[in-house]
Amino acid sequence: MYTLGINATFHDPAAALIRDGVVLAAAEEERFSRIKHGKRPIPFSTRELPYQAIDFCLRTAGISLADVDHIAYSYDPSVQLAGQPDQLTVEIPLRPAGVTHLRQHQPTSWTNPYEGLFLSSILNAPGHLVDGVPLHLSGRFKGVPIESVQEKWQFVNHHLAHAASAFLPSPHQQAAIMVIDGRGEEATTSYWLGSGNQLELLAEVKLPHSLGLLYEELTTYLGFLHSSDEYKVMALASFGQPVHADYFRSLVHVGSDGQYRIDPLNLVERFGPVREKGGPLTDQHFDIAHSVQVVLEETVLALIDWLHKRTGGVEALCLAGGVALNCVMNARLRDHGPFQHLWIQPAAGDAGTALGAAMWVDTTQRPATAPDCDERRYEMDQVYLGPAFSDEEIERFLRWSKLSYRKLNDVSGEVADYLAEGHVIGWFQQGMEFGPRALGARSILAPPFPADMQGKLNDLKDREDFRPVAPVVMEEHADDYFLQARKSPFMLFVNDVRPERKHEIPAVTHTDGTARIQTVNASQNPPYYNLLKAFRDLTGVPVLINTSFNTRGEPVVCTPRDAIESFWTSPLDALVIGSFMLEKTGEAWERQSEATSKEFQPIFGPTWRG
């Protein structure tokens, strides 16, 4: 049985494909469309399906859309109609003004007419499943009857999809679950108990009260993009003091039964004008960020204390929702919370609801007669679920591009030598990661020393100076370098760097003495692990800097073409792609650099850095 999961209503549209309980593929649309977070801001492309991510999933399985048994969509429009009349007039444009409708079919089989209108608005959007599909997708979508899609289509509550994504792929058979994000249909925080393949909703907090929206409002006030730049505020917080914490505490009221209320912030009235994007950062900005971060951590700690009692003291907690990507908060929950185990699905934001919706529908719709129908068949230990390219495909593209390259006989050994000399490389191997973190498939790698390597990488990626860079460490050596280190393959927690080791890895030690670590073992990612091992053999240090392979404003690279373009338009020293290496060295590169400099000098002046 094939189940296709889709997230499209909010941000980070994505698709995932499940076959009989096993995840075959998952990817975000931004990796294909090259539009950050997958949504055009003007006009905001609400509900536009992630066609290219869907196509990738189907190609991975070697099937067409007609072969899919269920389509799980991670948003349920009927939730917003609870308690309203059955007949509701809702006007939703099926196509942009001036464009002829491909189909006027209005489904009548849904519980409420609004669901039919919602589905029709999705399926009649640009890139329609029936007629308007781009040519390269037509073999998988064109000619699929809209009625057959309707029969397979199931709406899944947004927070239920989050909860399923947190629990069903986890290593725990029983766990408390907390979903905490900006908003779903109505819920902003929800609490669940997971047992086996079952999920029980215990309580939920509804709009307008939302810790995710509070953090988002602060992000906007500090001059960053809402719904995407919250991680920058988290990094900024490390430079401040909690001088405004009492003000924010006075606005957040934690009650019983997992409930809370948040009063209006009035940030401008309290702190002055909104910081202009790109404007200077002051001590007040640092202190505001730090204060909100502290209050977020305190509030969520109080909420999970209630959840621990409510679930009878179960040992494990699973988290999902965009707020669960706050690795500083996660570390505090891990170290000071009541649960012995904390597991977070790496695509914890909205992209992960495609996975959760698919897993939930697969679990609930799998035939009772199927073998092991009540058992878990999948545990997420790695997340390399995106597109992969063989050496043959990579070399074919390199030859077509007329680029100079060389094939490495010993990838790990030769690249470790290169890194030990202080170089920075693009690293492109195996299937790409699902979720926002680069985890050694589409990464920029560098040695964790000297200390100014952090600034060099921020300059290379054209990002803010205060942003830290993260370390990857061999799993068996994590505790040698980081206090209370545990297995952490998804880079979702921070740990204190051991004081006696800071001089060895100064570039990954943040201003507060912490680092957001990724651990890796030989089974999760052999090329990545072998590189770390070779680097340790050379330098004695089993740690590298790992940051995402992209530059400012660009999604993480997905294809060889993306990697080549990013390599040649940034100051990377080399690109290691499959078994091949490209370097910006030698006479040809020097001639090209000189020509490029002369070409752009009249525009940018003699100090242009390229």
Which residue in 358, 397, 349 sits closest to 181, CA to CA?
Answer: 349
- Residue-wise pLDDT tens digits, 487-504: 999 999 999 999 999 999
What's the token pair of residue 363?
Answer: 């679990």
Q: In percent, how much of the chain has pLDDT > 70?
A: 84
- Residue-wise pLDDT tens digits, 47-97: 678 889 999 999 999 998 889 999 999 998 887 665 444 433 333 333 333
Encoded amino acid at 286, one letter: F
Q: Is 272 helix (H, G, I), strand (E, B) or coil?
A: coil
Q: What is the mean pLDDT of the chain?
A: 87
Which residue in 486, 315, 380 sits closest to 165, CA to CA?
Answer: 380
Separation CA 296–CA 237 (nearest Å): 12
Q: Give the mean pLDDT of 348-362.
A: 97
DSSP 492-510: --EEEBPGGGTTTSGGG--
What pLDDT shows up at residue 9? Answer: 85
* Residue 250 C-alpha from the chain's centroid: 32
What pLDDT shows up at residue 74? Answer: 95
Q: Give the mean pLDDT of 203-214.
A: 96
What is the largest distance, in Å, between two alpha-carbon atoms of the chain? 75
Cα separations in angstroms, 472 against 347, 482, 490: 18, 11, 10
Ordered alpha helix ranges (H), 225-320: 230-237, 245-251, 267-271, 283-310
The answer to whether the beta carbons of residues 462 and 551 sit under 8 Å apart is yes
What pLDDT shows up at residue 549? Answer: 97
Q: Is 222 helix (H, G, I), strand (E, B) or coil?
A: coil
Which residue in 515, 486, 490, 261 sits closest to 383, CA to CA?
Answer: 490
- Residue-wise pLDDT tens digits, 510-559: 999 999 999 999 999 999 999 999 999 999 999 999 999 999 889 999 99
The answer, yes or no, to whether residue 596 has pLDDT greater than 60, is: no
The answer, yes or no, to whether residue 591 has pLDDT greater than 50, is: no
What pLDDT shows up at residue 88? Answer: 36
User: What domains can you pick out in the chain, each with its CATH number?
Assistant: 2-74+77-155+354-365 (3.30.420.40), 169-349 (3.30.420.40), 391-591 (3.90.870.20)
What's the token pair of residue 58?
Answer: 């189907």
Separation CA 121–CA 167 (nearest Å): 31
| Cis bond before residue 145 (omega within 30° of 0) | no
Secondary structure of 233-251 in the HEC alphabet?
HHHHHCCCCCCCHHHHHHH
What pLDDT shows up at residue 82? Answer: 59
The helix, strand and coil proportions of the chain, stated in percent and rounded to the nearest 5, come to: 40, 20, 45
Residue 228: pLDDT band (50, 70, 90) is confident
Separation CA 526–CA 524 (nearest Å): 6
The answer, yes or no, to whether residue 564 has pLDDT greater than 50, is: yes
The answer, yes or no, to whether residue 368 has pLDDT greater than 70, is: no
Residue 229: pLDDT band (50, 70, 90) is confident
What pLDDT shows up at residue 375? Answer: 77
